[in-house]
Structure 1
Amino acid sequence: MIATLGQAGAGADWFAWAAIFAAGFGAGTINTVVGSGTLISFPVLLLLGYPPVVANVSNTLGLVPGSLSGTFGYRRELRATAHLARLLLPASAVGGAAGAALLFLLPSEAFELIVPALIALGIAMALLGPLVQRAAARRAASRPEAASVPWWKTAGTFAGVLLLGVYGGYFGAAQGILIVGLLSLLTAETIQSLNGLKNLLVMVVNLIAAATFALIAPASLDWPAVALIATGSALGGLVGARIGRRLPAPALRGAIAVVGTAAIVYMLAT
């Protein structure tokens, strides 16, 4: 940890601080564009000697400003999904709190074993989303009187985001990819609008999870690490929004597939 490295001299201190800040910046940028930035910042904390729970908790809180700045960058796209945001924000909040509580009740292996499969599922959903949306549009055109969203689809969207909130509060790797994949299948919104909504939902999950961590186990938060990741991720979120909003829809889905695949390879190799 930083305190431990500090005993080795100022040079080690500065190296650790720079590494954590850079990891936060990279995570904030990638989270805003596609998701899975946790797979940058979390391993850096582990490599610097932080215990896994401390690294997970501190990283979760540190990434909140990145989600906030990314959400601000996507504020125009968010207007198109305001109705979905009102429906799904409570699901993300409840899920994030439940997942954070589970972190102190279940071993980390409980989720880590299935994370690669979840990421692969998220990639598949994101890539298949346009096909499903076009098929739904054709059905709606042939039956104009049934233009309203079926109740089961609304319920499924709420339940899915709730479960992903639990996952995000517990571990969080690539939760953004999973959210975009799910919403691509169950809604008719554009990929850019969903990306903006994803940033908002991830921010809520991380914020609620971090608040739960602070109540249950405040000693698990390492505030210097939180501050460095928060500063880096806030800047990274602004940069990520500028990049992501300029990507054509196919390129954005391709980026999701590439980053998600890299995350799967990384997790299976470590």
Structure 2
Amino acid sequence: MVTLGEAALLGSAGFIGGGINAVAGGGSLISFPALLAVGYPSITANVTNTVAVWPGTIGGSLAYRRELEGQRDRIVLLGITSVVGSLIGSVLLLASPARLFDQIVPFLILFACALLAVQERLALWVLRRQGDDASGERSAGVIGAQLLASIYGAYFTAGLGILILAFLGIFLRDNMQRLNALKGLLSVVINGVSALYFALFGPVVWPVAALMAVASWTGGYLGVRVARRLSPSRLRAVVLIYGVGVALWLLVT
């Protein structure tokens, strides 16, 4: 059982994380460390966070319905790939010794921070590629890249959307809005499959997951109004400083 203060901390982290995901991405760099801070083991914190943040990803994908039109073949191919990859990542996570996961968590957080740091440059690079030849809608490259992103996303959620968008930009030729819509839907699939797997087989703390899920959904809907008072670059900088600080704290401790 969590105390009232811990519940307030987790609810606030879910709310803020949902708002950050809606604006700049990287919300799990807020919600996951909050679960660690109240004393949950890293794997328990990770699977609970995955279940908690998944509902918040659905609303954004629904808002992109128009941009998803005409992408049916991509959705089917990369959706199936995402299901396979997320199952692999979920199995790997729960099969990982807790001590090993504890050791690599700081580096996973730093990797997510690095993705967030170069997010704008990656987006610009994707835009520049729109006039170049893509590698193909059904190439082994795009399938392999999405498989790797799905494994990573199920194993550790933070930074998943940024990674998928970068891979899609490398292999597919399309405008940013359509690629972003596809990224959002694929993220919903990956998080949904891993959340279901963790719900069946993982150490999910259900009361906490429910609290943070409601807070994340609300944060994504309302918190964006607060978050938009900061420029995306400043918001990203705040999340980066926090994420790097958490990673360094975990390395030291």
Fold-level similarity (TM above 0.5): yes
1:56 positional shift: 0.8
Given the alignment of the two structures, is residue 167 of structure 1 paired with residue 152 of structure 2, yes or no?
Answer: yes
Amino acid at match of 1:265: V
User: What 5-or-longer segments of structure 1 have no aligned partner?
Assistant: 6-11, 141-148
Runs of 4+ in structure 1 deviating by more than 6 angstroms, as ranges, are 240-244
Give runs of aligned pairs for residues 204-243 of structure 1, distance below 5 A: 204-217=189-202, 220-239=203-222
Q: 1:125 to 1:188 in 2, by over 3 A?
A: farther
d(CA) in 1 for partners of 2:78, 2:225: 25
Q: Does the 8 A contact of 1:36 with 1:174 survive in 2?
A: yes
d(CA) in 2 for partners of 1:37, 1:124: 16
With 84-93 and 168-177 compared, the bigger mean Cα shift is at: 84-93
Q: Does the 8 A contact of 1:122 with 1:182 survive in 2?
A: no
With 125-134 and 230-239 compared, the bigger mean Cα shift is at: 125-134
User: What 5-or-longer segments of structure 2 have no aligned partner?
Assistant: none
Given the alignment of the two structures, is residue 95 of structure 1 paired with residue 89 of structure 2, yes or no?
Answer: no
Q: 1:259 to 1:86 in 2, by over 3 A?
A: farther
Q: Does the 8 A contact of 2:29 with 2:243 survive in 1?
A: no
Q: 1:258 to 1:191 in 2, by over 3 A?
A: farther
With 59-68 and 203-212 compared, the bigger mean Cα shift is at: 203-212
Say which one has the larger Rg: 1
d(CA) in 1 for partners of 2:237, 2:169: 17
TM-score by length of 2: 0.79
TM-score by length of 1: 0.75
Q: Does the 8 A contact of 1:123 with 1:256 survive in 2?
A: no
Given the alignment of the two structures, is residue 269 of structure 1 paired with residue 248 of structure 2, yes or no?
Answer: yes
Q: Does the 8 A contact of 2:13 with 2:31 survive in 1?
A: yes
Deviation sequence 1:28-61 (CA, Å, 0-9, x none): 2222333221111111111112221211111101
